[in-house]
Amino acid sequence: MSEKILVIGANGQIGTELVTALRNQYGAEQVIASDINNPAYAIRNSGPFEFANVLDKENLHHLFHKHQPTQVYLLAAILSATGEQKPKLAWDLNMNGLIHVLDLAVEFGTAKVFWPSSIAVFGPNSPKQNTPQYCIMDPNTVYGFSKLAGERWCEYYHAKHGLDVRSIRYPGIISWKAAPGGGTTDYAIHIFYEALKTGTYQSFLSANTMLPMMYMYDAIRATLSLMEAPAENISIRSSYNLAGMSFTPAQLAEQIKQQMPDFSISYADHDPRQAIADSWPQSIDDSQAKTDWNWQPEYDLKRLTEEMLKNLKNSLNL
C-alpha cells in the first residue's frame, strides 16, 4: 500500500526540511504539507499544501477525511522561550493539538503518528550529565511540562487504542535553511548569522552553558529511522532520548574562530532564557535509541560549524 503522509506544522524549523525529505522518499504527491500560515516557497511549489489549525478539530477532521493519511507528523507547537511569554496559549496549542490528532488518528485508522518531544521535559532535579531515559522529570517551563504531559498521552493512546505513536526528545536543533522558532537553544543558530554579517555576537546564554545539540541533517535522519523501524523494535512509547553533541557558547565561538579568526563573542546579563537552559541536561544518554533502531549521529561540532558557515555564506550571498 502506498503511503499518504500528512505533516502538520510544516512551516517550522523541522517541518520545512522534513517535508522535503519525505517528498524525496515517498513522492511529492504523497506528502501533504499543512500549516496555519502560508508555506515557504519550496514547500508550496513542490507538492500539495493545506491550511490547518491544530486547535480547530473540525478543520483537522476534514483533512483526515479528505486525505486518509497512513502517517501523520504533528510538528505544530509553541517553543520554550515563546511559551513563557504566552503560557496559556502554549499549553492549549501543545496539548489540545496533540489530543485532537491522536483522536483523529484512532478514528481514521492512521497507521503511524510522529510527535516530537524535547529535552525540556527534564528539570532542575533531573541528572545533568548523561541524563538517562528514565529519571526524575520536573520541568519548570510550560513548554517542558506540556511535552511531558504529551508523552504520557502518547503512551496512553498506544496502550488503550493500539495507536502506533512514536516520539523523540529532540535536543537543540541547528539548521541554516529555516529561521529558529523561539527556543532557548536558538543562540547556536543566531551566532552563525551574526558571525558572517558583523563578525561579532552577543550570546544570551553564559559562556559555559553546556547544552545537548544536533545538526538538522541528523535530526531528520533520526526521525525517518524511527518511523521506518519495525513496530516490534519500538520499546518506548513515551519518547526516546536522542543525542548528537554537547557544547557551550564559548566552545562554539572557538570553532567559529578557527574558520574566522577575527570573530568575537560577548555575553548578555540576566536574560530569562538562562534560567531555562540551567534547568536542562548538559548531555543525554540515548542508548535505547541506539539499541532499538540503530541510531548513530554523523555530525560533531567541527563538522557542524564548517557546514553552517559554508551553507549560510551561500544563502546570504556573502
Tell me the C-alpha distance between 117 and 107, whole Å: 23
Q: Is residue 292 part of a domain?
A: no
- Which CATH number goes with the domain that contains 264? 3.90.25.10
What residues are paired with 169 via a beta bridge?
117, 241
pLDDT digits over 259-278, tens only? 999 999 999 998 999 999 99
> What is residue 317's predicted lDDT score, i.e. its pLDDT?
86
Residues 198 and 123 in one domain: no
Residues 158 and 79 in one domain: yes
Q: Which of 179, 118, 184 is nearest to 145 (CA)?
A: 118
Tell me the C-alpha distance between 92 and 304, whole Å: 35
Residues 159 and 20 in one domain: yes
SS3 177: coil
Q: Is residue 291 part of a domain?
A: no
pLDDT digits over 105-130, tens only? 999 999 999 999 999 999 999 999 99
pLDDT bracket for residue 214 (50, 70, 90): very high
Residues 249 and 237 in one domain: no
Cell matching residue 163: 495507536
Residues 114 and 88 in one domain: yes
The answer to whether 306 and 264 are in contact (CB under 8 A) is no
Residues 87 and 223 in one domain: yes
Cell matching residue 127: 541528572
Residues 181 and 60 in one domain: no
pTM of the predicted structure, to 2 decimals: 0.95
Residues 140 and 126 in one domain: yes
Residues 74 and 49 in one domain: yes
Give the domain range for residue 118.
5-172+214-241
Number of structural domains in the chain: 2
Distances (CA, A) of 254 to 193, 210, 261, 273, 307: 16, 14, 9, 22, 15
How deeply is 141 buried, as exposed, middle or buried, from its count of CB atoms within 10 A (0-12, 13-18, 19+)? buried
pLDDT digits over 172-186, tens only? 999 998 776 778 889
Active site residues: 143
Mean pLDDT, range 96-108, rounded to an integer: 98
Residues 163 and 255 in one domain: no
Q: Is residue 93 part of a domain?
A: yes
Tell me the C-alpha distance between 219 and 214, whole Å: 7
- Which CATH number goes with the domain that contains 115? 3.40.50.720
Q: Is residue 22 part of a domain?
A: yes
Q: Is residue 194 part of a domain?
A: yes
